[in-house]
């Protein structure tokens, strides 16, 4: 089967850490958003303002602008702010999620500094008819509904998915022994994703994917505000399409994308600030493989972006054109894998830093391999950095630096227990880090900091079977130190201090069991101190969240299943904040029901 995918991942990521969200995990979060998945199932720290609020990522001590979010190979980061709100990405928008850690600028361009989140829509040729319909209700007036229909025969793969979410989000919380209730926090979100894939002969196919989404959410007051009337509307249209030609030795991809994203910010019911960004992307890529394990790729990318906003005096435009190349080699014994990538971009008549990545993996012992990679990375300033009035600086330099990592991954069997483990150490230095700082009259961005991020990530999974019951336990631990190395003023107290909102310690523990059609799990997530001032004198206290889940599958006819799902979050009712002065909900419950029908096509 051919599928729409990011071909640069094939044979060009040796030595790096790349995780595929498995089907069981994906199913657990199928009615949730990307922020929830990453917060509970990865070492990525999610900076969340609460249910329905802004949620951004911090990979390995980086800023939210240092994460590239790619949908079918195209970066959907906003050109205005350089980040993506992960709470606005429902998992139904993609059929596959991969998490690539570390520098990926040579593969994906500006912004892929700390890590990349790869969302792909796969074709389902020859799979017949499948229907997935589900609904969920929960605490604080939460309701979610979604429907997905897929059909695939020898030539066509068609899919349509629709989703809707709403919540009052009126949870109670305590401040200084005073009990309050969250107000002005309602949210509603809806959208539809349509996919068409068509095979042409034995080696060609074309595809088209459309993703429309509308979100309307109220923005509650902080703990220090008496009230809030703020409201935010987000509307987006995303199109991708392309043609690809595949043989045993060669792949050719010609693709394009068009993104149109609008935001209406209402500080009050009678005031509205409007922003809109449009991005057009065209890309061509050729990849050739030899019978001796070599693979060579070449490509070109052109990205053109425009924006309008009440914060700009004109309509800024940005053009980026890039050439990239890659090389991969796998030894005939499969004990060695190496890869290298290089990219050169030119933005608005200015050459950007040349970026490159090299990596290698080696099978050290049966079942165990060691790996490592090094890369040069960069990020261009956003439209707001350059053009916001007042404060924007059109002379800002791009952030640039170096990243490296090394690790080991493998598995062993000890009696009836199968152990899987992975450990990674990493380091990254970024120069000309862009920071918005207060001035005499207004804030403005400057290339002020040199940030050094380093740390250790570890994961251990144990799986075993007792009678008819299967058990699994996974422990993740993360230690990240991310500090400013450059004084901005003679008495700068931020030097050698942890960056704000970067937890130095975090971890996750999940234990689960399956027996027949029933499964249950208990998961705990620990988040350590997060400093809220650059001198590290102010901080948010650590917190631990415990969640539990139970699912049962009923057989409905010969081809249908009915999935019953019960979930409890924050079972110990921890009182915590992820962002200062933004309360988070206490104990919450959710119940869902999903009907899945599958009629496989009979292939002659």
pLDDT in tens, 269-289: 777 889 999 999 999 999 999
Structure tokens at 480: 């990240």
Tell me which residue of 120, 37, 105, 75 sits closest to 261, measured CA to CA. 75
pLDDT tens digits, one per residue of 489-508? 888 899 999 999 999 999 99
Residue 328's Cα: distance from chain center in Å?
26
The pLDDT score that the predictor gives to residue 9 is 62
Looking at the predicted structure, is the pLDDT value of residue 13 above 50?
A: yes
Cβ burial of 557 (10 Å; 0-12, 13-18, 19+) is exposed
The residues facing 210 across adjacent strands are 194, 239
What is the CA angle 95-98-102, rounded to 5? 160
The residues facing 211 across adjacent strands are 193, 238
CA distance 115 to 68: 7
The three-state secondary structure class of 580 is coil
CB crowding 86-109: b at 16 or more within 10 Å, else e: bbbbbbbbbbebbbbbbbbbbbbb
Quickly count helices (H) and strands (E) in the chain.
4, 34
| DSSP symbol at 33 | B
Residue 489's Cα: distance from chain center in Å?
35
pLDDT tens digits, one per residue of 217-259? 999 999 988 889 999 999 999 999 999 999 999 999 999 999 9
Looking at the predicted structure, is the pLDDT value of residue 364 above 50?
A: yes
Q: What is the mean pLDDT of the chain?
A: 93
The pLDDT score that the predictor gives to residue 11 is 59
* pLDDT-based confidence at residue 3 (cuts at 50, 70, 90): very low
The three-state secondary structure class of 399 is strand
C-alpha distances (whole Å) from 1 to each of 41, 157, 203, 421 are 29, 11, 11, 31
Q: Could you tell me if residue 442 is left (phi over 0), alpha (psi between -120 and 50 degrees) or otherwise beta?
A: beta
pLDDT tens digits, one per residue of 391-404? 999 999 999 999 99
* pLDDT-based confidence at residue 2 (cuts at 50, 70, 90): very low
The pLDDT score that the predictor gives to residue 602 is 65
Structure tokens at 173: 């919380």
Contact call for residues 428 and 499 (beta carbons, < 8 A): no
Cβ burial of 423 (10 Å; 0-12, 13-18, 19+) is middle
Mean pLDDT in residue range 306-328: 95
The pLDDT score that the predictor gives to residue 5 is 41
Tell me which residue of 582, 589, 583 sits closest to 567, measured CA to CA. 589
The residues facing 97 across adjacent strands are 119
Mean pLDDT in residue range 452-472: 96
CB crowding 426-456: b at 16 or more within 10 Å, else e: bbbbbbbbbbeeeeeeeebbbbbbbbbbbbe
The three-state secondary structure class of 28 is helix
Give the DSSP per-residue string, 227-249: ----EEEEEEEEEEEEEEEE-SS
pLDDT tens digits, one per residue of 22-78? 888 888 888 889 999 999 889 899 998 877 788 999 999 999 999 999 999 999 999
The three-state secondary structure class of 88 is helix
The pLDDT score that the predictor gives to residue 573 is 95
Domains in the chain: boundaries = 7-599
Contact call for residues 583 and 576 (beta carbons, < 8 A): no
The three-state secondary structure class of 571 is coil
CA dihedral 330, 331, 336, 337 (to 10 degrees): -10
Contact call for residues 61 and 174 (beta carbons, < 8 A): no
Mean pLDDT in residue range 531-555: 96
The pLDDT score that the predictor gives to residue 311 is 93
Looking at the predicted structure, is the pLDDT value of residue 18 above 80?
A: yes
Q: Could you tell me if residue 79 is left (phi over 0), alpha (psi between -120 and 50 degrees) or otherwise beta?
A: alpha
The residues facing 232 across adjacent strands are 217, 265
CA distance 35 to 50: 11
Instruction: Please count the CA atoms within 13 angstroms of the CA of 157 that sit on its side-chain side.
Output: 21
The three-state secondary structure class of 598 is strand
Looking at the predicted structure, is the pLDDT value of residue 1 above 80?
A: no
The pLDDT score that the predictor gives to residue 603 is 55
Q: Which CATH class is domain 7-599?
A: mainly beta
pLDDT above 90 coverage of the chain, percent: 84
């Amino acid at each position: 089967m051919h599928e729409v995918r990011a071909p640069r991942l094939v044979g060009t990521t040796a030595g790096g850490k790349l995780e595929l969200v498995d089907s069981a995990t994906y199913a657990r979060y199928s009615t949730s958003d990307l922020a929830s998945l990453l917060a509970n199932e990865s070492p990525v720290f999610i900076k969340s303002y609460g249910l329905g609020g802004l949620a951004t990522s911090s990979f390995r001590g980086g800023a939210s602008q240092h994460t590239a979010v790619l949908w079918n190979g195209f970066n959907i980061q906003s050109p205005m702010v350089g980040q993506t709100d992960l709470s606005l990405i429902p998992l139904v928008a993609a059929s596959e999620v991969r998490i690539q850690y570390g520098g990926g600028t040579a593969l994906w361009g500006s912004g892929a500094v700390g890590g990349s989140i790869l969302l792909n829509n796969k074709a389902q040729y020859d799979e017949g008819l499948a229907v997935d319909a589900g609904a969920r209700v929960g605490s604080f007036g939460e309701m979610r509904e979604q429907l997905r229909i897929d059909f695939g025969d020898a030539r066509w793969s068609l899919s349509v998915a629709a989703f809707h979410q709403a919540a009052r989000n009126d949870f109670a919380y305590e401040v200084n022994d005073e009990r309050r209730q969250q107000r002005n926090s309602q949210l509603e979100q809806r959208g539809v994703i349509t996919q068409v894939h068509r095979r042409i002969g034995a080696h060609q196919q074309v595809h088209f994917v459309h993703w429309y989404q509308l979100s309307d959410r109220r923005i509650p007051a902080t703990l220090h505000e008496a009230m809030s009337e703020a409201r935010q509307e987000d509307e987006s249209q995303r199109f991708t399409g392309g043609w690809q030609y595949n043989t045993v030795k060669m792949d050719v991809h010609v693709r394009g994308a068009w993104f149109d994203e609008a935001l209406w910010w209402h500080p009050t019911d009678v005031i509205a600030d409007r922003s809109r960004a449009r991005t057009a992307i065209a890309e061509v890529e050729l990849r050739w493989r030899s019978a001796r394990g070599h693979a060579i790729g070449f490509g070109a990318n052109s990205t053109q972006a425009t924006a309008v906003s009440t914060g700009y005096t004109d309509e800024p435009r940005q053009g980026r054109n890039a050439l990239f190349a890659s090389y991969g080699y796998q030894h005939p014994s499969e004990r060695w894998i190496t890869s290298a990538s290089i990219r050169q971009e030119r933005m608005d008549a200015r050459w950007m830093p040349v970026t490159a990545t090299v990596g290698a993996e080696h099978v050290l012992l049966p079942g165990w391999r060691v790996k490592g990679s090094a890369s040069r990375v960069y990020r261009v300033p956003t439209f707001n950095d350059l053009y916001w009035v007042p404060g924007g600086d059109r002379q800002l330099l791009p952030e640039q630096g170096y990243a490296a990592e090394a690790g080991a991954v493998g598995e062993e069997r000890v009696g009836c227990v199968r152990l899987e483990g992975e450990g990674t150490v990493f380091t990254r230095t970024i120069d000309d880090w862009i920071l918005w700082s207060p001035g005499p009259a207004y804030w403005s961005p400057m290339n002020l900091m040199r940030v050094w991020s380093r740390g250790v990530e570890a994961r251990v999974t144990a799986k075993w079977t007792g009678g008819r019951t299967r058990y699994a336990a996974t422990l993740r631990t993360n230690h990240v130190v991310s500090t400013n190395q450059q004084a901005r003023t003679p008495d700068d107290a931020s030097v050698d201090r942890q960056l704000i909102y970067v937890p130095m310690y975090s971890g996750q523990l999940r234990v689960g069991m399956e027996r027949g059609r029933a499964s249950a799990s208990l998961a705990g997530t620990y988040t350590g101190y997060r400093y809220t001032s650059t001198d590290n004198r102010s901080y948010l206290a650590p917190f631990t969240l415990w969640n539990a889940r139970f699912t049962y599958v009923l057989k409905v006819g010969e081809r249908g299943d009915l999935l019953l799902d019960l979930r409890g979050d924050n079972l110990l009712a921890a009182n915590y904040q992820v962002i200062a002065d933004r309360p988070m909900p206490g104990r919450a419950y959710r119940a869902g029901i999903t009907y899945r029908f599958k009629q496989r096509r009979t292939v002659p």
